[in-house]
Chain A
Amino acid sequence: MVTSRTSVEKPVTAEELARLLHEAAEAGQAVLPVGGGRAAQMGDPPARDGVVMSTSGLDRVLEHSQADMVVSVEAGVTLEALQEQLGKSGQFLPLDPFNSPGHTIGGLLATGWTGPLRLRYGSPRDFLIGIRVALPDGRLASAGGRVVKNVSGYDLMKLHYGALGTLGVIVAASFKVFPKALHDVTVEATYESMDRAWAGADEGLAMPMAPAAVELFSSGRVLARFLGSLDATKRTVADLGWTEADGSAWVAHSKAAPSLWARIAAPPHALRSILDKLGADQEWWASPGTGIANWAIAGGAEDVRAIRALATAAGGSLVLMAGPDEFRHDAGAWGTPPATLHLMRRLRYAFDPSQVINPGRFVV
């Protein structure tokens, strides 16, 4: 296991990135793409050292069409810079990942990191409408477009999303963006027992006005967010009867980043039975509506494997988001590969036959 890096490249155009990627591939070097470095410990430690390919020089918002509610950006733009630009016209990208601030758009697409707003808006998988990637053979390939609805050609956005760059280094992307809600209300409740806290979260989720986010914490706290018209949010808050909280609670929550951390994903109805097995001393937070939980691991690799077995048995997964190389090596970042691994490998081979990009880091 070698994790030392040999050099850092910081291209300022997509063409330059593609050329550097191709040169590294020709020279038999690995390429380790990095955006904001917020997910640097996701996945298994790379199998070979290589060129660190920073996208931070690709930092332009290429086009924001306010009337069309579409934005195109280079991969190295930070989420905060993009939100600031969109905010000027009352719009936003509904993405609030943990370990913020500092994520780049390319990094968020490659890793598939999301946050609480996923309950209402889905993940970038749902609002990514175009992508451009650099391939190890030096080509730049685009898919999708700049319109909100498009079935022209294969949906390669889906393949690149969450692939950790293994099918190509993302250099630019286009998104459908959303209008900021007229009213944005946050409420919270804290419960004595976890039984009641889960019931509280269910109550929030069942409101006739669907919440934009419902987060449940191992402390028994539930935080919910409602977006919509004044009268509708007013009535919902009154009906639910929780305490109004400051919206900054979400900013604070998005900074959550345990140094040893796993994401547990399961069918929503199965999430609780897994988290119940964590033990009362463990800290975690969860989005019961989406089936995703984040666990600040206080334990060893064997604890991770035990919980992973439960998640896998429920049809879900446990992925390490951060932790020392040694720990990720012991516990395994991904767990048992999916049954379709051989198909995924064929795709990987079609785009990166020599395993140039992030070798050994992804499950494929």
Chain B
Amino acid sequence: MALDRAVIEELRRAVGREYVIDSSNDLRIFERDASIEGAVPDAVVLPATTAEVSSVIRVAARHRIPLVMRGAGTGLSGGAVTIRGGIALQVTRMRKILEIDPVAQTALVEPGVVNQELSLAAASHRLFYAPDPSSQKACTIGGNAAENSGGPHCLYYGVTTNHVLGMEVVLADGSVHWVSGDAPDRVGLDLCGVLVGSEGTLCAITKVKVRLLRTPPSIATLLAAFPTIETASQAVSAVIGHGIVPSALEMMDQVTVGAVEAHYHAGYPTDAGAVLLVEVDGIPESTSELMAAVRKVLAENQGYAMREAQSPTERDLLWAGRKGAIGALGRIKPNYYLHDGVVPRSRLPQILSAVGEIGVHYKLPVANVFHAGDGNLHPNILFDLRERDVLPQVESAGEEMLRAVVELGGALSGEHGIGLEKSAFMPWVFSADDLDAMRRVKGALDGQGIMNPGKIFPDPERKSLHLAGRTGLAVEAKWW
């Protein structure tokens, strides 16, 4: 549904003529994020300042037009998909690092700043920004804050919400506010805490103040092979069970290792059933002692062919394989679909065998590459969209995997967000009263419901994907 010409004119007045896109060919570029569903926006608006964001939102509010924030479009849950049409508010022109304060160890950035650019800019002060999604070369800090993104090093350092000190936000009525800031223990309710991870459904984020950390003086990175994915899972539990919390503890299965090795030649053992990538950091005395302890536990759990990176270059290569794994999977099939459910760590063996069985049942290859230390799965279901009727099979397989996660006491998403794709599953883990409490927050801050409609909450207007005939799926949310 095209927007009224008068509305387009209002938008043009708000941000400048050339920064409103409304031709149907151009709009198609903004149809997708990195999830599998898409919808074409009615207009794309590219503001350069907070004031312009505010003006655009005022236009949207006046005409009750849905408004969807968009960063780099790397989101995996459909958060940036304009499922109800409306305006996609693209923040990529707002990409200045406004300030890096090496003494306070903070940075103030615009939302379109790319995650890795921030860490690169901080590196000259021997500081870094901890949350490191695999898409960090492209994804934006604004998107990270909206989704509460994670990454491999969040095992030790925590996810985005643990590193955001404060934000400038624009609410659904166009009003601009600072929430939280440099000082701890602020008076009043923690608005910043609830806005981080609200997936664009409560506010637009126009500035983010983040905490930077000191680059550790010493880093040790180890690659270890395991005969099976089960033995690798047990090794993960054993490491954590020994009281060792590495800065990262990642797993890749044989399918993934094969694809990664063919692409990166990082020296991954292709005969292994699974590999673990383990990193510890600190002062040299602590990394050597911790790494020795890790090696011992891994060896006791059938780990072999252990290889420690001998140089920063070698470490970067090992990580390139992990962070580029999903791209490398394109060697097997051109498309992938993944959920990122989380299970209690001790349930990793059960969930991985369930995931494997579901893949076999649907005759779809599955490649596991994930944050094992957190219990945060990433089963990549590989397929070729050109094959007829494959998509419903892929979606069903993904849904069954998430069901298995929930049955093991897990959560629907660890870092990708609920977005569009998992909103129908929310009643699996949350009762009607739980969801009602969340809706109260939505109602209090976006009464008209213009901010990213159709996300997070089950949407009765939307045809559920493949839930038909599956009654009794809702579980009571007595999760303890």
Residues of A within 8 A of B (CB): 62-63, 65-70, 72, 90, 112, 114, 122-123, 125-126, 130, 132-133, 135, 139-143, 145-159, 161-163, 167-168, 172, 174, 178-180, 182, 208-210, 228-232, 234-236, 263, 265-270, 290-292, 314-317, 319, 334-335, 337-341, 343-344, 346-351, 363-364
Contacts and interface: CB of A to CB of B under 8 A. Distances in A.
Contact of A179 (B243, B288, B433): B243
B162 A314 contact: no
A178 B245 CA distance: 9
5 contacts: A143-B430, A232-B283, A291-B183, A316-B183, A344-B191
B217 A208 contact: yes
Contacts of B191: 340, 343-344
A151 B147 contact: yes
Given A155-B196, A317-B183, A347-B445, 10 more contacts: A126-B162, A130-B480, A142-B430, A152-B412, A228-B286, A232-B283, A235-B285, A348-B189, A350-B444, A351-B440
A161 B192 CA distance: 12
Given A130-B479, A151-B417, A159-B189, A236 B283 contact: yes
Interface residues of B, number: 86
B415 A151 contact: yes
B190 A125 contact: yes
Interface stretch (B8-16, B108-116, B173-181): B173-181
A57 to B, nearest CB: 18
B345 A68 contact: yes
A149 B181 CA distance: 24
Contacts of A90: 243
Interface of B: 103-104, 147-148, 150, 154, 158-159, 161-162, 171, 177-179, 181-194, 196-198, 214, 217, 237, 240-241, 243-245, 282-283, 285-286, 288-290, 342-346, 371, 374-376, 409-418, 422, 426, 429-431, 433-438, 440-445, 456, 477, 479-480
B415 A149 contact: yes
A228 B282 contact: yes
Contacts of B159: 149, 151
B188 A142 contact: no
A152 B344 contact: no
B374 A148 contact: yes
Contact of B187 (A70, A142, A172, A319): A319
5 cross-chain pairs, A with B, having the tightest CB-CB distances, nearest first = A158-B193, A179-B243, A232-B286, A141-B437, A267-B182
Nearest to A155: B197
A263 B344 CA distance: 37
A265 B441 contact: no
Given A130-B479, A172-B480, A265-B184, A155 B426 contact: no
Contacts of B245: 178-179
B177 A150 contact: no
Contacts of A228: 282, 286
Contact of A150 (B158, B285, B413, B438): B413
Contacts of B414: 147, 149-151
B342 A147 contact: yes
A343 B415 contact: no
A228 to B, nearest CB: 5
Nearest to A91: B243
A337 B187 CA distance: 7
Contact of B444 (A270, A316, A347): A347
Contacts of B241: 66-67
Contacts of A122: 158, 162
A341 B217 CA distance: 43
Nearest to B374: A149
Given A151-B418, A154-B197, A155-B161, A145 B185 contact: no
Contacts of A178: 245
Nearest to B149: A151
A237 B158 CA distance: 27
Contact of B477 (A142, A265, A270, A315): A142
A265 B183 contact: yes
A335 B187 CA distance: 9
Contacts of B198: 154-155
Contacts of A315: 181-183
A265 B415 contact: no
Contact of B184 (A157, A232, A290): A290
A229 B285 contact: yes
A209 B282 contact: yes
Given A122-B158, A149-B159, A343-B445, A62 B193 contact: no
Nearest to A142: B434
A307 B82 CA distance: 50
B344 A317 contact: no
Contacts of A132: 480
Nearest to B457: A153
B285 A231 contact: yes
Contacts of B214: 210
Of residues B147, B289, B343, B415, which shows the largest number of chain A Cβ atoms within 10 Å of its Cβ? B289
A159 B190 contact: yes
A351 B433 CA distance: 12
B344 A70 contact: yes
A62 B158 CA distance: 25
A315 B214 CA distance: 24
Nearest to B373: A148
B438 A153 contact: yes
Contacts of B444: 343, 346-347, 349-350
Contact of B441 (A123, A133, A154): A154
B429 A152 contact: yes
B342 A159 contact: no
Nearest to B346: A67
Contacts of A351: 437, 440
Contact of A209 (B283, B290, B440): B283
A230 B289 contact: yes
Contacts of A232: 282-283, 285-286, 289
A41 B299 CA distance: 55
A171 to B, nearest CB: 11
Nearest to A291: B184
B190 A161 contact: yes
A156 B190 contact: no
A152 B426 contact: yes
A308 B181 CA distance: 17
Contact of B189 (A67, A148, A209, A344): A344
A341 B178 CA distance: 12
Contact of A142 (B189, B289, B409, B431): B431
A317 B197 CA distance: 26
A76 to B, nearest CB: 15
Nearest to B179: A340
A321 to B, nearest CB: 11
A153 B187 contact: no
Contacts of A316: 183
Contact of B177 (A161, A174, A337, A340): A340
A50 B44 CA distance: 54
A218 B44 CA distance: 58
Given A70-B344, A232-B283, A154 B479 contact: no
A313 B283 CA distance: 38
Nearest to A135: B437
Contacts of A68: 344-346, 375
Contacts of B431: 141-142
